Amino acid sequence: MITVQNLTKKYGESIVLNIENLEIPKGQSFGLVGNNGAGKTTFFSLMLDLIQSTTGHIINNGVQIDAREAWKPFTSAFIDETFLIGYLTPEEYFYFIGELRGRNKADVDIHLEGFKDFFHDEILGQKKYLRDLSKGNQKKVGIVASFIGDPEVIILDEPFANLDPTTQIKLKGIIKDLAASKEVTVLVSSHDLIHVTEVCERIVVLNKGEVVRDIQTSMETLNELEVFFGG
């Protein structure tokens, strides 16, 4: 599904990302871990063509990302609050994203119905603009919006940060379900090793821009990661 070749990103002299080769098959739930500055967000930004690579490129479902835009209809993401439109209510935001992805109001309403539990009565019908919601609730909106329109690739940067424990557990369930369907490729980054090992089939560790571990998740994975980051 996603192929990365000789991808580097330099700012001046410093190399912030250098991935020689990476293959992510369709339907995989892919976890990206690393310390601050490891290049996680840089990689995701490159996946979305928000920054330009210095060399190499990413191919998403046969589309070279920086050359054509055909990857947009089947790819969705929530990276940070710049993916939210502050002056819309959550409902309006969902409908807006829905319309861009070819889903009408009724479709979106059905979709949202499935996340009633996840929203915990704090999102819909609140008479608040997104800019006035708490960080955690903003994140919930962004994550759910990224599921609208049956995307084949979903990119979530630090989805667990800022969420309350209940929502974290629910989100893990949602991501597991998506992964189980084998139709959706989910890319998740996180600082929380427990969460990633729980939801991702495969974990890649980035350190100073380079892939230093590429693990198929098993019982020992958490331990291995803790040794890596602890030592």
Catalog residues that contact other proteins under the rule CB under 8 A: 48-52, 69, 72-73, 75-77, 79-80, 82-89, 91-92, 95-97, 99-102, 105, 126-129, 131-132
Nearer to other proteins, 69 or 117 (CB): 69
Least Å distance, CB 101 to other proteins, is: 6
Nearer to other proteins, 116 or 131 (CB): 131
Nearer to other proteins, 80 or 192 (CB): 80
Least Å distance, CB 83 to other proteins, is: 4
What is the residue-wise DSSP string for the chain? -EEEEEEEEEETTEEEEEEEEEEE-TT-EEEEE--TTSSHHHHHHHHTTSS--SEEEEEETTEETTT-STTGGGEEEE-SGGGS-TTS-HHHHHHHHHHHTT--HHHHHHHHHTTHHHHTTSSTT----GGGS-HHHHHHHHHHHTTTT--SEEEEESTTTT--HHHHHHHHHHHHHHHHHTS-EEEEEES-HHHHHHH-SEEEEEETTEEEEEEE--TTHHHHHHHHHH-
Least Å distance, CB 6 to other proteins, is: 19
Least Å distance, CB 213 to other proteins, is: 28
Nearer to other proteins, 84 or 200 (CB): 84
